Amino acid sequence: MKILTSFFLALSLLCSAQKKYVLVIHGGAGTITKENMTPEKEKAYKDKLTEALKAGYAEIQKGKTSVDAVQSAIVVMENSPLFNAGKGAVFTHEGRNELDASVMYGKNKSAGAVAGVQTIKNPIKAAIAVMQKSEHVMLSAKGAEEFAKEQKLEIVDPKYFWTQDRWNGLQKALEKEKLKKATTQNKKPHYLEIDQKFGTVGAVALDKEGNITAGTSTGGMTNKRWNRIGDSPVIGAGTYANAQVGISGTGWGEFFIRSTAARTVAAKMEYQHKDVKTATQEVIAEIGKMGGDGGLIALDKNGNIAMEMNTAGMYRGAITDKGEIEVEIYK
């Protein structure tokens, strides 16, 4: 009986090891704990992550490219007020929503990004348009919006991005800033006080041709000032893809930029021959040592994934080539 049990255990481990993932997504990392989550909110997040996975998977099943899969998955999350991207974007110090996004196609390392946009409904679509229809990699602010209009992308009134939850978040941050302004005890300048729950969204897809695409979209940091840009639209920091692997990050952007987080994962795999999980874990550990926090998702050419974080939780999920869905929130 023991031999039979051991056989089935080994078989089950072998089957799980042979899973081939075709899409992995994240919806932000931070102080996300079960104690602070209502059952209704938890269900809402899990349902939306599942919807995003299904949307991206449907593109892959139709034989579309990994670019199409990433776009579809991210658009679902950009259109939801649950995440800090698109509709749910956080507010700047001045009470505006400034959005960033980027995409990279691993096959030829083409890339596109937009930063500081205020009227593009789905910034990920603009990033893809920059990659596919311009000679540039990154466009910002008014210029990016003008380009998006020329590409017939949906333009909205900035009021579209206003949500009560994010507005309340800004008011809390401003109140905290007032209280702390009088003291010099802060380790970091008051304008970098961060909302401890990040909601940046991202996706990495592997299509039937074996090509990888990574994409990331965000509203940035609550109470950010001076048109601050984080890591999400920076190729090599928040997003990176080559023929071997694709990576998308979420967290305290300044540290992801300084550690060139996404590219470093790929470099560890390419030059040190690390597997995707080890490479991702090492980069997150490095960010932690620097004083930053957040998470990274990665998907390699063989369908192996990593979803690593140094925070209490990260909204995340993955789907296999057989359509099996996995969604997680807590560490």
Q: Which residues are catalytic?
A: 200
**How far, in Å, CA of 201 to CA of 230, rounded?**
13
Give the distance from CA 106 to its chain's centroid: 17
> Which letter does DSSP use for residue 155 in this model?
B
> Which structure tokens are listed for 68?
């199409």
Q: Are 97 and 161 in contact (CB under 8 A)?
A: yes
Secondary structure of 234-291 as H, E, C letters: CECCCEEECCCEEEEEEECHHHHHHCCHHHHHHHHHHHCCCCHHHHHHHHHHHHHHHC
**How far, in Å, CA of 315 to CA of 54, rounded?**
16
**How far, in Å, CA of 104 to CA of 124, rounded?**
11
Taking CA atoms, 1 is separated from 6, 7, 12, 13, in Å, by 9, 10, 17, 18
**How far, in Å, CA of 97 to CA of 125, rounded?**
17
Nearest alpha carbon to residue 106 among 62, 65, 53, 52: 65
Name the 3-class secondary structure at 164.
helix
Residue with tokens 């991207």, as numbered in its chain: 85
